[in-house]
């Protein structure tokens, strides 16, 4: 059939014209996506980008082509969940750091709490304490909300209706993850030397899931949430508690370093309320 089609010049000309039109539409779609992402201070939803494209343009094809174009440049196209943004190439990030900016560290309690939320979400405060084996202060959750890495999901359908917590797209952006499933699994954690000795039988690392859809055991948040957690109003400000300030607005800071042991003198010497608190 292909040879038969090529016997007719007008068929080849039509195919060439269609391909030329497709490439022109792709080029225009790439320009539109590039302009929107460049002008936006925050990562943009893929759906929002698709709505701005001409009829017939494929957002997946445009993003893939644009990502390939920027793969070797000083700025790369990156994805965090369903959101897209430009970020400084990883090998050039050191050029933009301001060494005079002091790094403000999370406490050990905050780092451990953040890890538990990331892997076990949706999770309540009581469930976090059960995993850690020690109570956590309200200030620890407050500081994680202020960073914008943790969000309130809903309320568990149990007595007391406790709030459930989960991670945000800002968490993915900061740690350079495309999706929450990219968090290291058990074998990777073992290889990093984070597990010493023999693990208990049946021990495993849960599969992270940060879906925005509420689960069967969750209810939507009520109007009383802001009164229960007054610092929630500041969570949207995205206070950067950890890492060095960068000249690129969307260039992520280094990963947080674990603070001193809870209750150790270094952890109590001079603690800013914005940096969270130790365990109760």
pLDDT tens per residue, range 17-55: 777 888 888 889 999 999 999 998 889 999 999 988 888
> Residue 157: its pLDDT value, please?
92
Distance CA 89, CA 76 (A): 6
The rounded distance, in Å, linking the Cα atoms of 134 and 49 is 45
d(CA 236, CA 271): 23
Question: Looking at residues 51-73, what average pLDDT do you find?
Answer: 89
Find the mean pLDDT for residues 250-272. Answer: 39
SS3 183: coil
Q: Return d(Cα 132, Cα 143) in angstroms, integer.
A: 18
Q: Are 253 and 244 in contact (CB under 8 A)?
A: yes
Answer yes or no: pTM beyond 0.85.
Answer: no
Calpha distance 168→277 (Å, rounded): 22
pLDDT (tens digit per residue) in 160-183: 899 999 999 999 988 888 889 888
Asked if residues 51 and 69 have their Cβ atoms less than 8 Å apart, the reply is no
Select from 171, 139, 169 the least CA-distant residue to 242.
171
Which of left, alpha, beta for 34 (phi over 0: left; psi -120 to 50: alpha)? Answer: alpha
Domains and CATH numbers, the chain: 8-96 (1.10.10.10), 108-275 (1.10.10.10)
Q: Dihedral, CA atoms, 275, 277, 279, 280, nearest 10 degrees? A: -160
- Computed over every residue of the chain, the mean pLDDT equals 76
């Amino acid at each position: 059939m292909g040879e038969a089609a090529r016997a007719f010049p007008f068929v080849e000309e039509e195919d060439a014209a269609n391909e030329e039109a497709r490439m022109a539409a792709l080029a225009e779609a790439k320009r539109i996506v590039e302009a929107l992402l460049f002008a936006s201070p925050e990562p943009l939803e893929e759906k929002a980008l698709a709505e701005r494209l001409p009829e017939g343009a494929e957002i997946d094809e445009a993003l893939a082509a644009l990502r390939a174009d920027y793969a070797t440049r000083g700025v790369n196209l990156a994805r965090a969940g369903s959101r897209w943004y430009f970020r400084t190439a990883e090998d050039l990030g050191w050029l933009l750091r301001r060494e005079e900016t002091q790094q403000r560290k999370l406490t050990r309690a905050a780092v451990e709490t953040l890890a538990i939320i990331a892997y076990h979400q949706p999770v309540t405060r009581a469930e976090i304490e059960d995993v850690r084996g020690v109570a956590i202060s309200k200030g620890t959750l407050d500081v994680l909300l202020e960073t914008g890495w943790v969000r309130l999901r809903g309320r568990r359908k149990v007595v007391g209706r406790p709030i459930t917590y989960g991670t945000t797209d800002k968490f993915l952006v900061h740690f350079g993850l495309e999706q929450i499933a990219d968090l290291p699994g058990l074998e990777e954690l073992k290889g990093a030397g984070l597990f010493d000795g023999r693990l208990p039988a049946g021990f495993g690392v849960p599969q992270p899931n940060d879906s925005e859809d509420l689960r069967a055991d969750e209810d939507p948040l009520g109007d009383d949430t802001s009164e229960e957690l007054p610092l929630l109003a500041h969570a949207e400000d995205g206070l950067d508690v950890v890492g060095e300030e960068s000249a690129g607005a969307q260039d992520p800071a280094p990963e947080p370093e674990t603070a001193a042991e809870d209750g150790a003198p270094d952890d109590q010497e001079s603690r800013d309320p914005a940096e969270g608190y130790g365990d109760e």
